[in-house]
């Protein structure tokens, strides 16, 4: 027992001989501090293409600023991790596509004297700057096309009618895809159903698809990849065609080289169904197609192969029947050369030239909802052969609010009532410019300003009250879009005071204008 007590005492004495210097090598490290950013400021949003700025104040006591390094890196969604900036203050153009869930933005500060880093994570929501507006398709070389978007009060509901600022996003397709659209644009159509967004473009070369939030091409949705079953006329270039919307069910009808398919955009559907055929018809060639503004009216189509009218809805296509005593026969239009299909106040009008006489006729049809083969489509005929300069007309337009015909030669825009033909010149192109198209803005949204009887500013809704005229100057190779209010309905009178005309310049030759939803 005494032996063990002695051993313990000796061990205590030995340990007491050593000095405790275990803490002498520990250095106190000052933390990296971030100021000038409140806790709630870690969430940011900006439009794609805009510059994002974040200005934190960073310091570390005892460490020179030159010994602090910085990195701002963004990742998430479909983008690869990308370094945006390497300075304390972030200032970077955001090119990432819109992403509602938000990207992670990691701010890394490194103390180079110790190698120790501090990381802070921010959330950045990228918004699409490409809201509702007017799409302008143009070509600068005659072989390829591009798309621009106009956002202004004339076309955009979320812009105040007192806001005269106008923004044009030029050449969006080439900017976001690195190349122009091959071929010339024939038509473009946007649709939105919940999160199912699509911008479908038909050119003379190909069918393209993008999301109108970013205009980025979707390679898996081109040409034949747009169809459940690939039809034989798809994927080999397009001579003519276009899109309309059957509004009752938001079905998108596409005519490609004369054959028609539809796409129900509900349930996230991205593909067109089978080619539609009327009962008993084995082949046809649609050259004109129109969807009335009435939400439940049929789609109207002219079949140039069988020289007759066809009609459609989400249920399919069908042919009409000859009605005894009708002013014309929708099943037999062999005596006419139709060239335009649209809508006036009294009905759907097929503009055509009579083969035997050379006279110009408007074949007006009733607007029929959920029609059937025995529906009474024919309604009346108006003759506009006596309209001034009609034989030189190249472009035509009709307005659902009035029984008026608008038509344009290379340098003059005319209007006339369809009830009493009496043409008047509404606008003349400046010297050096030629008219390349006319279109009445018929989509939803927007307000237009004009002068009242006292010459003071007043406004009205743009739909069906705004004429869009595109011109081209071959010398300067510049296209121009002129927007003129229709101030007197049923007479087709445009605002003559140029102070109330709105123009957009800097395009190539304009191929068409289309509403972006």
pLDDT at position 395 is 98
Is pLDDT of 2 > 60?
no
Which CB contacts under 8 angstroms, 24+ apart, belong to 171-177?
171/146, 171/147, 172/130, 172/146, 172/147, 172/148, 172/215, 173/145, 173/146, 173/147, 173/210, 173/215, 173/217, 174/146, 175/215, 176/214, 176/215, 176/216, 176/217, 177/215, 177/216, 177/217
More confident residue, 371 or 346: 346
Q: How far apart are the first and last CA of the chain?
A: 98
What number of CA atoms fall less than 13 Å from residue 209's CA on the CB side?
Answer: 17
Is pLDDT of 3 > 50?
no
**Burial class (CB within 10 angstroms; exposed 0-12, middle 13-18, buried 19+) of 355:** exposed
The answer to whether 505 touches 480, Cβ cutoff 8 Å, is: yes
Q: What is the rounded CA–CA span in Å between residue 218 and residue 234?
A: 17
- Max CA separation in the chain (angstroms): 140
Read off the pTM.
0.84
Is pLDDT of 27 > 60?
no
pLDDT at position 28 is 57
Q: Span 128-137, mean pLDDT?
A: 92
Q: Strand runs (DSSP E) across 43-93, as ranges?
A: 43-47, 51-54, 57-59, 68-76, 79-85, 90-93
The answer to whether 74 touches 96, Cβ cutoff 8 Å, is: yes
**The CATH number of domain 33-127, selected from 3.40.720.10, 2.60.120.560, 2.60.40.10, 3.40.50.970:** 2.60.40.10
The answer to whether 130 touches 111, Cβ cutoff 8 Å, is: no
Is pLDDT of 450 > 90?
yes
pLDDT at position 81 is 95
Is pLDDT of 157 > 90?
no
- Average pLDDT of the chain to the nearest whole number: 91
Nearest to 103 by CA among 40, 48, 168, 164: 48
What's the token pair of residue 349? Answer: 């009008």
Using 50, 70 and 90 to split pLDDT, how confident is the model at 206? very high
- The DSSP call for residue 2 is H
366-418: pLDDT as tens digits: 988 766 666 889 999 999 999 999 999 999 999 999 999 999 999 999 999 99
What's the token pair of residue 291? Answer: 């969807």
Is pLDDT of 212 > 50?
yes
Nearest to 214 by CA among 305, 293, 358, 100: 100
More confident residue, 383 or 128: 383
Using 50, 70 and 90 to split pLDDT, how confident is the model at 95? confident
């Amino acid at each position: 027992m005494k032996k063990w007590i002695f051993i313990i005492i000796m061990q205590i004495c030995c340990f007491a001989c050593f000095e405790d210097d275990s803490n002498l090598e520990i250095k106190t490290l000052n933390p990296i501090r971030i100021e000038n950013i409140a806790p709630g400021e870690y969430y940011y949003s900006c439009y794609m293409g805009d510059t994002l700025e974040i200005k934190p104040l960073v310091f570390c006591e005892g460490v020179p600023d030159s010994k602090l390094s910085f990195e701002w890196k963004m990742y998430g969604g479909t983008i690869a991790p990308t370094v945006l900036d390497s300075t304390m203050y972030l200032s970077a153009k955001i090119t990432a596509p819109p992403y509602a869930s938000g990207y992670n933005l990691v701010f890394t500060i490194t103390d180079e004297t110790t190698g120790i880093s501090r990381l802070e994570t921010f959330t950045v929501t990228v918004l699409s700057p490409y809201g509702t507006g007017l799409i302008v398709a143009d070509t600068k070389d005659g072989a390829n096309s591009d798309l621009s978007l106009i956002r202004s009060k004339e076309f955009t509901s979320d812009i105040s009618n007192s806001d005269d600022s106008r923004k044009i996003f030029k050449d969006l397709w080439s900017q976001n895809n690195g190349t122009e659209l091959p071929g010339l644009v024939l038509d473009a159509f946007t649709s939105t159903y919940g999160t199912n967004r699509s911008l479908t473009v038909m050119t003379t070369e190909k069918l393209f698809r993008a999301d109108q939030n970013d205009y980025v091409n979707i390679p898996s949705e081109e040409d034949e990849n747009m169809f459940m079953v690939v039809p034989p006329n798809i994927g080999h270039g397009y001579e003519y065609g276009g899109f309309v919307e059957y509004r009752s069910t938001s079905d998108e009808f596409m005519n490609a080289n004369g054959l028609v398919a539809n796409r129900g955009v509900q349930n996230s559907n991205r593909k067109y169904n089978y080619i539609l055929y009327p009962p008993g018809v084995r082949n046809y060639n649609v050259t004109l197609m129109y969807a009335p503004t009435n939400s439940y009216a049929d789609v109207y189509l002219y079949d140039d192969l069988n020289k007759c009218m066809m009609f459609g809805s989400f249920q399919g296509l069908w042919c009409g029947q000859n009605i005894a005593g009708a002013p014309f026969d929708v099943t037999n239009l062999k005596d006419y050369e139709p060239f335009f299909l649209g809508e006036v106040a009294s009905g759907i009008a097929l503009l055509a030239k009579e083969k035997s006489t050379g006279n110009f006729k408007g074949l007006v049809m009733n607007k029929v909802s959920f029609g059937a083969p025995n529906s009474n489509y024919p309604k009346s005929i108006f003759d506009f052969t006596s309209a001034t300069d009609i034989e030189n007309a190249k472009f035509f337009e009709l307005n659902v609010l009035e029984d008026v015909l608008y038509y344009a030669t290379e340098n003059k825009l005319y209007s006339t009532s369809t009830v009493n033909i009496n043409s008047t010149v509404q606008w003349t192109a400046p010297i050096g410019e030629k008219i390349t198209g006319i279109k009445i803005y018929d989509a939803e949204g927007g307000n237009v300003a004009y002068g009242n009887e006292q010459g003071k500013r007043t406004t009205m809704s743009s739909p069906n009250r705004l004429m869009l005229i595109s011109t081209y100057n071959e010398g300067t190779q510049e296209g121009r879009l002129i927007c003129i209010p229709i101030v007197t309905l049923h007479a087709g009178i445009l605002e003559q005071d140029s102070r109330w005309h709105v123009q957009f310049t800097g395009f190539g030759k304009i191929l068409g204008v289309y509403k972006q939803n």
